[in-house]
């Protein structure tokens, strides 16, 4: 099934990557829950409008355990905060352990940030960017790095297919059950990992035969750059605006958040305006659907 | 009662006995004193006889409730108090250290609970000579009145001559504070859980036990920035960098405290001679000892230990 068309998918790969990176930068800039919530809305909104809501949901399933772990570990390791909610007494090497309201709040903030980074920098980027195009751009900067990355990206599905073939072969054995148990899975993984080097050598030989070893071929024929589309411009502008908004807010002290010793969340008009601006700036480029069918 | 219920009850009881519970816990019964100083107590920054406390607070939380505190390493290490930060000053390492009832804690501030009557003292000091100052005299009458860790400790005044005036003065001052202090001759085997005040001229105290030895070994060993000479007739006064800045002669007294590992502090009320011991006994007083790491008395005049570093 092909991915649904959307303005974000219509933009060139470096612009999509810049847009996702800008969202990640904004997430890492703020600790204020309102700003993070706004960025969460922006990221989910971008995912839905780009037609990759399911990918985002899968990303959330992957990121949620990490987020929860961060949220749970922080109160156990942070020794700060004034409002004790739970006294756990002396816990061996951890010493006196008091869980404070502040450490719980900050743990939740850190967890939310981790989740948003996974969503924006992982799920949204992976679902919307054309990696071939992106690697093509990076080839101009470093041929070897781009080639290595391209090979790695291609080798993963190849190894996945190898694993599936090996699993099918295992099922043909008379003593095999319908699903492999843990030991059998480990055997398959070991077989695939052992074969990875052979696969890599095959790919390297193929590349050499195709002339990738020579600088001219690796550099590729030079061609005129494509003109920027209005989607390129819109998403690039949104990316820049997001970074400027985040940096400006930081410099001006808007959305200031003090985690310790007491949680102080300034929530005035400027914070609400910032939150609205973050959502608006991130989602505005999706409004232009001309040429998207 | 089912087996599971019994197990649950046992676990709950164990948790309660282990200091676990929901909420901030019970506040200390008495007031908590909080003092913040710099340069071995010579530069006062904050003094609160009744600091704000909520529930079963730790030393760190008491400080954070009453001052603006910057921390590092997950909140275990105090970097700054009211904007005065640790780090390096004129190439010397300075940082914040704390004492509870005049005893340096072996744990971090966030792991030490406060108890009613405790006196918490934070001092930002040069630790180039030693980061370990096991005990100080500046929280007097602590640790004699409230002890350590919320427990009063037995107190014994040990004198080279129990009938001497200085011995009497020290013992009576403790008794006046409501401290039941026993009196004896100097023992050579210290009971580890007894607070000892040893009174007498240094020539009689020298080499008696590990604490007396550490005082002779200098500030690195004892945390006391003064040292008697070989004859015990002179006292070398050191500055915060461990340099001798003055040598005091006859009639010099010294009130200092130190402790050896896993032992309660030992206080010395001593001097170069009988006159020195008498002056030290007279200085065994809250007003004179206030916020001092140790005190020397020369010609009847009190002198901070360590001595202040001369400018330049």
Query: For chain A, what are the domain ranges?
Result: 7-135+229-287, 158-209
CA distance B268 to B205: 9
Are B95 and B160 within one domain? no
Q: Could you tell me if residue B171 is inside a domain? A: yes
**pLDDT higher than 70, residue B309:** no
CA distance B254 to B240: 17
Mean pLDDT of chain B: 90
Model confidence pLDDT, tens digit, residues B97-123: 999 999 998 888 988 999 999 999 999
Distance (Å) from the alpha carbon of B111 to chain A's nearest alpha carbon:
5
Q: What is the pLDDT of residue B231?
A: 93
CB contact under 8 A, B61 and A82: yes
DSSP B9: H
Residues in chain A where the model's pLDDT stays below 50: 1, 217-218
Are B115 and B216 within one domain? no
When pLDDT is averaged across residues B200-210 and rounded to a whole number, the result is 90
Domain final residue, candidates B126, B143, B165: B126
Residue of A nearest to B23 (CA): A85
Higher pLDDT, A95 or B151: B151
Confidence of residue B92 (pLDDT cuts 50, 70, 90): very high
**pLDDT higher than 90, residue B244:** yes
Q: What is the pLDDT of residue A220?
A: 53
How far CA B153 is from CA of A106, B4, B121, B195, in Å, comes to 41, 42, 20, 6
The string of DSSP letters for B160-187 reads SSTTSHHHHHHHHHHHHTT--EEEEEPP
Q: What is the pLDDT of residue A227?
A: 87
Are B115 and B39 within one domain? yes
Q: Could you tell me if residue B148 is inside a domain? A: no
Are B159 and B283 within one domain? yes
Are B247 and B171 within one domain? yes
For chain B, the domain total comes to 2
Are B193 and B115 within one domain? no
Chain B interface mutation, best of A85, A87, A263, highest count of B Cβ atoms under 10 Å: A87
Are B103 and B20 within one domain? yes
To the nearest 10°, report the CA torsion of B103, B105, B110, B112: -70
The string of DSSP letters for chain A reads -PPPP-HHHHS-HHHHHHHHHHHHHHHHH---HHHHHHHHHHHHHHHHHTT-HHHHHHHHHHHHHHHHHHHHHHHHH----S-EEEEEEE-GGG-EEEEEHHHHHHHHHHHHHHHHHIIIIIIIHHHH--HHHHHHHHHHH-HHHHHHHHHHHHHHHHHHHHHHHHHHHHHTSTT--SS--HHHHHHHHHHHHHHHHHHHHHHHHHHHHTTTTSHHHHH----PPPPPPHHHHHHHHHHHHHHHHHHHHHHHTTT-EE-SSS-EE--SHHHHHHHHHHHHHHHGGGG--TT--
| Partners of residue B113 in chain A, C-beta under 8 Å | 96
CB contact under 8 A, A82 and B64: yes
User: Where is mean pLDDT largest: A84-98, B21-35, B187-201, B283-297?
Assistant: B283-297
**pLDDT higher than 70, residue B222:** yes
Are B170 and B273 within one domain? yes
Chain A interface mutation, best of B13, B15, B19, B81, highest count of A Cβ atoms under 10 Å: B19
Are B167 and B300 within one domain? yes
Q: Could you tell me if residue B131 is inside a domain? A: no
Q: What is the pLDDT of residue B101?
A: 97
What are B44's two structure tokens?
A: 């006062």
Q: What is the pLDDT of residue A172?
A: 85
Confidence of residue B246 (pLDDT cuts 50, 70, 90): very high
Are B297 and B186 within one domain? yes
CB contact under 8 A, A78 and B55: no
Instruction: Tell me which residue range forms the domain holding B68.
Output: 3-126
Q: What is the pLDDT of residue A78?
A: 85
Q: What is the pLDDT of residue B312?
A: 38
Residue of A nearest to B67 (CA): A261
Q: Could you tell me if residue B312 is inside a domain? A: no
Are B110 and B174 within one domain? no
Query: What CATH code is carried by the domain that includes residue B98?
Result: 2.170.130.30
Confidence of residue B1 (pLDDT cuts 50, 70, 90): low
Are B266 and B220 within one domain? yes
Model confidence pLDDT, tens digit, residues B270-282: 999 999 999 999 9
What is the interface pTM, i.e. ipTM, of the complex?
0.75
Looking at the partner chain, which of B19, B55, B75 has a beta carbon nearest the beta carbon of A80? Answer: B75
């Amino acid at each position: 099934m092909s991915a649904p068309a959307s303005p974000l998918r219509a933009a060139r790969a470096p612009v999509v990557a810049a847009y996702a990176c800008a969202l990640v930068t904004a997430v890492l800039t703020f600790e204020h829950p309102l700003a993070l919530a706004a960025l969460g809305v922006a990221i989910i909104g971008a995912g839905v409008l780009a037609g990759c809501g399911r990918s985002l949901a899968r990303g959330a399933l992957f990121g949620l355990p990490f987020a929860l772990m961060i949220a749970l570990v922080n109160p156990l390791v942070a020794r700060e905060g004034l409002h004790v909610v739970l006294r756990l007494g002396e816990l061996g090497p951890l010493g006196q352990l008091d869980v404070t309201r502040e450490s719980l709040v900050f743990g939740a903030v850190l967890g939310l940030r981790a989740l948003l980074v996974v969503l924006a920098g992982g799920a949204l980027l992976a679902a919307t960017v054309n990696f071939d195009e992106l690697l093509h751009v990076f080839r101009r900067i470093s041929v070897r790095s781009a080639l290595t990355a391209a090979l790695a990206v291609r080798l993963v599905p190849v190894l996945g297919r190898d694993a599936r073939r090996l699993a099918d072969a295992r099922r043909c054995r008379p003593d095999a059950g319908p699903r492999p148990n843990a030991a059998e899975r480990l055997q398959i993984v070991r077989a695939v990992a052992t074969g990875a080097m052979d696969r890599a050598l095959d790919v390297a030989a193929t590349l050499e035969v195709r002339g990738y070893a020579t600088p001219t071929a690796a550099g590729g024929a030079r061609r005129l750059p494509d003109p920027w589309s209005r989607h390129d411009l819109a998403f690039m502008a949104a990316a820049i605006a997001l970074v400027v908004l985040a940096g400006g807010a930081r410099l001006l002290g808007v959305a200031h958040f003090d985690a310790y010793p007491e949680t102080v969340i300034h929530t005035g008009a400027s914070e609400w305006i910032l939150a609205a601006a973050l959502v608006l700036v991130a989602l505005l480029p999706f409004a232009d659907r001309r040429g998207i069918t | 009662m089912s087996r599971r219920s019994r197990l649950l009850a046992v676990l709950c009881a164990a948790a309660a006995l282990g200091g676990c519970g929901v909420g901030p816990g019970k506040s200390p019964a008495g007031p908590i004193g909080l003092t913040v100083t710099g340069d071995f107590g010579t530069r006062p920054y904050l003094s609160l006889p009744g600091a704000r406390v909520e529930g079963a607070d730790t030393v760190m939380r008491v400080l954070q409730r009453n001052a603006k505190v910057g921390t590092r390493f997950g909140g275990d290490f105090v970097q700054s108090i009211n904007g005065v930060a640790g780090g390096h000053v004129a190439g010397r390492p300075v940082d914040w250290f704390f004492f509870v009832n005049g005893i340096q804690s072996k744990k971090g501030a966030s792991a030490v609970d406060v108890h009613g009557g405790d006196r918490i003292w934070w001092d930002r000091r040069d630790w180039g000579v030693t980061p370990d100052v096991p005990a100080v005299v500046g929280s007097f009458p602590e640790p004699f009145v409230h002890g350590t860790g919320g427990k009063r400790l037995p107190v014994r005044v040990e004198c080279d001559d129990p009938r001497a005036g200085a011995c009497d003065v020290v013992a009576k001052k403790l008794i006046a504070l409501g401290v039941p202090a026993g009196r004896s001759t100097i023992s050579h085997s210290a009971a580890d859980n007894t607070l000892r005040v040893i009174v007498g001229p240094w020539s009689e105290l020298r080499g008696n036990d590990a604490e007396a030895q550490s005082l002779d070994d200098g500030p690195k060993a004892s945390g006391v920035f003064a040292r008697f000479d070989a004859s015990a007739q002179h006292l070398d006064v050191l500055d915060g960098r461990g340099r001798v800045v003055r040598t005091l002669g006859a009639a010099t007294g010294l009130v200092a405290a130190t402790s050896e590992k896993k032992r309660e502090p030992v206080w010395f009320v001593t001097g170069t001679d009988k006159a020195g011991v008498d002056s030290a006994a007279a200085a065994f007083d809250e007003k004179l000892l206030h916020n001092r790491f140790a005190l020397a008395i020369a010609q009847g005049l009190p002198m901070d230990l360590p001595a202040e570093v001369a400018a330049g």
